[in-house]
């Protein structure tokens, strides 16, 4: 069968560095930290007081109060980021064959804010069950995909992917396959997360996953640094418009990049800890390279999962070394040093960062590096503290999740003359 080439024609971002793609990229280029003290609730009794919250965001700037009340923040973030991506793509939705347009949208934990609030209100009340009629539709993870399909009338494949912090990378991969195999012309893909709540902070604190560098929040997320002490949680959304190449060319669309290959694997090792040798992550990267029909030497940049945890960072670097060798020229960085960890939305946000590195010829840095970690192989070319101007033809974006889920996506600079 003939396989479709799949290209990216629209981007939307809602992040701790900015509420649109342009501001997000400016923050990455300039090495800005999105971390601050948590403003959503009193953190006095918590070990962690910091997070990467959205700045100057009001849902009612994008929708009326009635719609805002009916939706959990993770759904609102999805709607806002996708609206930017649709506008960026210049898709004329009313002229599309919407039976061949779909949505795959991810979240790691969905409407946890809604669920926490409803249970808290019930437990502090008189015992009478007064729950919102929108509790279920605000909470369940698939509802963002459903709401987006309703908004745009997309009647093709529609569902959610959930694989912890790999969730939105899985969404992009699934959307890619829908187009690759000829089942769709256009797909919305991405993910959103709104996890800055007492239950999320408390839960991740209990498993010692979060940084407690409360007195120095701007430098708390420090992937690959010797003194890293956990990730800084973040919130937001990332949206991508995927199209078949013929569909995009017919309407003379702007093309950011092409998806060259994808890889999936599982550690099959532990519920939270990665394989220390990085076997599963390495397998995911190898699978993506094989799927793209290229060599490791073709990859110019790897946007790593790089969460700033003691075990995860070493495991991923070990995996990169096993795939690319210790003399590789590939540049490595973690943008989570700036955005924090957006959990289920991380893969989409970092895919956008990867695509923009191709478009703009810059590699964003890993900020907050102060002390080399002896467990991190110095032969791996990690870009620290300052962005680097460099032509990027192929970039790999990694996203891994609790449960051992591994994803790798390779984006490449678009070349219309290439064929499969």
User: Where is 176: in which H helix or E strand?
Assistant: helix 167-180
CB 230 within 8 A of CB 206: no
Catalytic, 101? Answer no
State yes or no: is 49 an active-site residue. Answer: no
CA gap 74, 237 in Å, rounded: 8
Q: Which two tokens stand for residue 221?
A: 């997320």
Catalytic option among 52, 101, 165, 217: 165
Q: Cα–chain-centroid distance for residue 371?
A: 27
Q: Which residues pair with 302 in a beta bridge?
A: 332, 396
Give dist(CA 255, CA 160) in Å, integer. Answer: 25
* Separation CA 359–CA 9 (nearest Å): 12
Given the residues 52, 217, 305, 369, select the one marked as catalytic: 305
CA pair distance 186, 6, nearest whole angstrom: 9
Closest CA to 200 of 239, 235, 238: 235
Please indicate whether residue 247 is annotated as part of the active site.
no
From 52, 101, 341, 405, active-site residue: 341
Residue with tokens 């959205």: 54
Per DSSP, the chain holds a count of helices (H) and strands (E) of 13, 15
Q: For 19-166, where are the alpha helices, taking DSSP H only?
A: 21-29, 65-70, 73-89, 112-123, 135-139, 143-152
| Degrees to nearest 5, angle at CA 213 with 54 and 269 | 85
Q: What is the dihedral of CA 108, 114, 119, 120, to 10 degrees?
A: 110
| Listed residue (18, 419, 407) closest to 175, CA to CA | 407
Residue 276: which residues within 8 A CB-CB, separation 6 or more?
Answer: 311, 314, 315, 318
Where in the sequence numbering do the catalytic residues fall?
A: 165, 305, 341
């Amino acid at each position: 069968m003939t396989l479709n080439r799949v290209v990216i024609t629209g981007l939307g971002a809602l992040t701790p560095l900015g509420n649109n793609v342009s501001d997000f990229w400016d923050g990455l280029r300039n090495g800005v930290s999105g971390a601050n003290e948590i403003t959503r609730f009193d953190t006095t009794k918590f070990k962690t007081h910091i997070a990467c919250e959205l700045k100057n965001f009001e849902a009612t700037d994008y929708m009326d109060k009635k719609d805002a009340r009916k939706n959990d923040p993770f759904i609102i973030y999805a709607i806002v980021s996708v609206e930017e991506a649709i506008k960026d793509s210049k898709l004329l939705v009313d002229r599309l064959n919407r039976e061949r347009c779909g949505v795959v949208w991810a979240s790691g934990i969905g409407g946890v804010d809604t669920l926490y609030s409803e249970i808290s209100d019930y437990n502090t009340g008189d015992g009478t069950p007064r729950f919102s009629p929108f509790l279920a539709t605000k909470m369940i993870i698939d509802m963002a995909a459903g709401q987006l399909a309703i908004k745009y009338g997309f009647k093709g494949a529609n569902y959610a992917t959930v694989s912890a912090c790999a969730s939105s990378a899985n969404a992009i991969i699934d959307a890619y396959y829908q187009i690759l195999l000829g089942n769709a012309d256009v797909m919305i893909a991405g993910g959103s997360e709104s996890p800055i709540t007492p239950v999320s902070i408390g839960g991740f604190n209990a498993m010692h996953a979060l940084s407690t560098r409360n007195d120095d929040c701007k430098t708390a997320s420090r992937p690959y640094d010797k003194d890293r002490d956990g990730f800084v949680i973040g919130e937001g959304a990332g949206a991508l418009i995927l199209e078949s190449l013929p569909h995009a060319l017919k309407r003379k669309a702007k093309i950011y990049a092409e998806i060259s290959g994808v890889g999936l694997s599982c550690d099959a090792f532990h519920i939270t800890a990665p394989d220390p040798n990085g076997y599963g992550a390495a397998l995911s990267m190898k699978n993506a390279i094989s799927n793209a029909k290229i060599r490791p030497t073709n990859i110019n940049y790897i946007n790593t999962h790089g969460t700033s945890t003691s075990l995860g960072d070493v495991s991923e670097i070990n995996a990169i070394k096993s795939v690319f060798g210790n003399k590789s020229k590939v540049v490595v960085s973690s943008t989570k040093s700036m955005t924090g960890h957006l959990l289920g939305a991380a893969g989409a946000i970092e895919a956008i960062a990867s695509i923009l590195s191709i478009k703009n010829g810059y590699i964003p840095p890993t900020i907050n590096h102060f002390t080399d970690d002896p467990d991190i192989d110095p032969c791996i070319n990690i870009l620290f503290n300052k962005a680097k101007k460099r032509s990027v033809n192929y970039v790999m974006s990694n996203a891994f999740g609790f449960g051992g889920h591994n994803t790798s996506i390779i984006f490449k600079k678009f070349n219309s003359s290439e064929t499969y």
